[in-house]
């Protein structure tokens, strides 16, 4: 297996020679990239005398966030593909969306050394939060651009496939935001006891945002 061509095929499935190998590499990129990102996000506590558990849990939670978001979207997209009459092409759309997820994870992992450098510069906890939000937004923008390219190339102009891909990306983003909220904290406060989830893990982020907007 040629690593370079396989890696490129995972991020751009339209170039891949083997769909099976591409899917495996895409899943591996999401897992490894997510674990590296989560570990370095959680290392803020280590830089400030906190527990190593935040880094270990971060390495588990970011891949869980990415995988859970995709898994929750899969049944809905499967039903939608049949409603649109493109059940036979569902694998094509799935590989395209997996490519977007792999791109997202790779961008996050690629920016992780900068996160480490930011922490080492003496960043405050609030600064660490703002920095990571900016990094995730940037990665999402890059993934969005990748999604548009996938819709224009891999899906070959088929309108129904474009509809499925667009809905898939929007649904993934919607679910990922809620999953990220439920899996907090990703950045450990050095003065707080280690905790895998917060007490309000089952609360709804969108209800909270609505109340926040209404309060203004």
pLDDT tens for the 216 residues of the chain, in order: 444 544 455 555 555 445 566 788 888 999 999 999 999 999 998 888 888 899 999 999 999 999 888 888 888 888 887 887 776 667 776 777 788 888 899 999 999 999 999 999 999 999 999 999 999 999 988 888 877 776 666 556 567 767 777 787 788 888 988 988 888 889 888 888 878 888 888 888 888 788 767 655
* Number of other residues whose CB lies within 10 A of the CB of residue 206: 11
* Global pTM exceeds 0.75: yes
Instruction: Please tell me the total count of domains within the chain.
Output: 1
Tell me which residue range forms the domain holding 192: 3-215
CB-hemisphere CA count at 13 Å for 64? 18
Residue in 175, 209, 156 with CA at minimum distance from that of residue 64: 175
For residues 73 and 93, is the Cβ–Cβ distance under 8 A? no
């Amino acid at each position: 297996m040629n690593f370079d061509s396989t890696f490129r095929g995972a991020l751009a499935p339209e170039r891949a020679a083997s769909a099976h190998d591409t899917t495996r590499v895409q899943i591996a990129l999401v897992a490894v990239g997510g674990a590296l990102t989560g570990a370095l996000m959680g290392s803020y506590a280590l830089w400030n005398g906190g527990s190593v558990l935040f880094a270990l849990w971060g390495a588990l939670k970011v891949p869980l966030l990415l995988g859970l978001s995709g898994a929750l979207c899969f049944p809905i997209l499967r039903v939608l593909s049949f409603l649109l009459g493109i059940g036979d092409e569902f694998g094509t759309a799935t590989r395209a969306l997996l490519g977007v997820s792999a791109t997202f994870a790779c961008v996050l992992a690629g920016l992780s050394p900068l996160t480490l450098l930011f922490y080492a510069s003496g960043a405050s906890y609030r600064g660490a939060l703002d920095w990571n939000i900016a990094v995730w937004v940037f990665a999402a923008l890059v993934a969005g651009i990748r999604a548009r390219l996938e819709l224009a190339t891999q899906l070959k102009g088929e309108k129904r496939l474009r509809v499925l891909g667009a809905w898939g990306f929007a649904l993934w983003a919607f679910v990922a935001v809620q999953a990220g909220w439920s899996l907090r904290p990703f950045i450990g406060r050095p003065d707080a006891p280690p905790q895998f989830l917060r007490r309000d893990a089952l609360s709804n982020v969108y209800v909270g945002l609505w109340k926040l907007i209404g309060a203004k």
